[in-house]
Amino acid sequence: MTSTSSPEPTKPSQQSLDALAWAEEQMTLLTGLRGDERGALAGQRIVMRGHITKESAVQVRTLRALGAEIAWCASSPVTTDPDIVAVMTCEGVHIPPDAPGEGRAGEQAIQDVLDHFGRGPTLLLDEGGDLLLAAHADDRELPDILGAVEKTGSGMVRLKQRFGADGTKFPVLAVDTSYLKHVVDNSGGAPQSVVECIMRASGTLLAGRTFVVAGFGGVGSGIARRAAGLGCRVIVTEVRPTVALRALVEGFEVMRLADALQVADVVCTATGEQAVTAAHLPHMRSEIMLANAGHFADELPVAALREAAVEVKEVRSGRTRYLLPDGRVITVLGNGDMINLAVGEGNPSEVMDVTFATQIAALRYLLSETGPREPGVFSLPVDYEEELAQRKLDLMGLAVG
């Protein structure tokens, strides 16, 4: 019984059906769960928010095969594949349309999915924290809620800022603290696809260029290593002294962001915070190229650039040139959105297989006898991760020990 209706489905193209079938072949953990864990989510009503890609469609098909009902809203129109929306709505998944002109929260679509099931969701699956924050609104009743899973570090930062470590209304599983998710996705797949998309959007040779990475966490350190491998001079900017020292002992130059912007050819942010701001604009050398790998577009001052520019021109797909009144030219790649999704197809499918299977393991843990029942933020127990990693190795025909 649902309280909101889905938009009329359009017919998906054969090309997108083929791409989805190909992703399914790479995502062996998820497709395997459909048999091994059949019924594990029977009766659950899951409201989720995330990028609508072929990989997340494989996750949604898996959740439904395990018995769950799904209502799904997009993280951002920029990271939404309209063909996948068509496929999913044809299969009966409720996806509300994007409301044009909405801010980053997509507030209307979030309220729509939270209202979708008569008594609301039993579980939430979030990516970035907006769904979780909306679920905590004073006037929002969720009588049957058992818990939530948040995929990103950025989402957990926002949740902790708002509610502290234990002020949530229900248990929240933080998947980003999972070692497995962090090494395979943040440090492994994301840096590869980010650097690939910087190369694609810039159309320039990276070897010999000065490449600045803001933030030396899982994603940023992976980008720094790959840029160095391509022959760049790599400079790291950090706010945490211990992490800056780590970058230094790994062989990278460390600098203040304002200084690095004066020598950079390419800057890539991966901080989960507002990193390059309008205050940094006067420090930027002309011909600099800016890209963002972080979850939110506000890591770069795109709105301030648009306001300051005397001319804005998209010179090729994913590459926008801003001419400033003093004659400097600043280039933004992927419009400041997460570059590997704005310009490319995001992480490789087999990487998202591990990330999404970790999320499903977190849902299973929430529902297990030993899972948390009280409000607060929790991590996935190590044995769940080891079991998943073992399954993936088995599927790849690899052994440990």
Q: Point out which residues bind ligand NAD (CB under 6 A).
A: 152-154, 185-186, 190, 194, 214-220, 237-240, 243, 257, 270-273, 275, 293-295, 338, 340, 347
Q: Which residue's CB comes closest to ligand NAD?
A: 217
Indicate the residue among 218 and 318 with the shorter CB distance to ligand NAD.
Answer: 218
Give 117: exposed, middle or buried? Use CB within 10 Å, 0-12, 13-18, 19+. Answer: buried
**Cα distances (Å, whole numbers) of residue 317 to 206, 355, 382:** 18, 29, 43
Indicate the residue among 243 and 329 with the shorter CB distance to ligand NAD.
Answer: 243
Indicate the residue among 88 and 270 with the shorter CB distance to ligand NAD.
Answer: 270
- Which of these, 190, 13, 4, lies nearest to 84 by C-alpha position? 13
Euclidean distance between CA atoms 321 and 315, whole angstroms: 7
- Phi/psi zone of residue 281: left (φ > 0), alpha (ψ -120 to 50 degrees), beta? alpha
Are the beta carbons of 91 and 12 closer than 8 angstroms?
no
**Cα distances (Å, whole numbers) of residue 46 to 50, 69, 151, 241, 305:** 13, 6, 15, 40, 39
Euclidean distance between CA atoms 136 and 211, whole angstroms: 40
Indicate the residue among 37 and 345 with the shorter CB distance to ligand NAD.
Answer: 345
What is the closest distance, in whole angstroms, from the C-beta atom of residue 128 to ligand NAD in the complex? Answer: 7
Per-residue tokens: 167: 């002020």
End-to-end CA distance of the chain: 50
What is the closest distance, in whole angstroms, from the C-beta atom of residue 139 to ligand NAD in the complex? Answer: 29
What is the closest distance, in whole angstroms, from the C-beta atom of residue 18 to ligand NAD in the complex? Answer: 24
What is the closest distance, in whole angstroms, from the C-beta atom of residue 226 to ligand NAD in the complex? Answer: 13
What is the closest distance, in whole angstroms, from the C-beta atom of residue 214 to ligand NAD in the complex? Answer: 4
Indicate the residue among 52 and 257 with the shorter CB distance to ligand NAD.
Answer: 257
Indicate the residue among 171 and 272 with the shorter CB distance to ligand NAD.
Answer: 272
What is the closest distance, in whole angstroms, from the C-beta atom of residue 373 to ligand NAD in the complex? Answer: 28
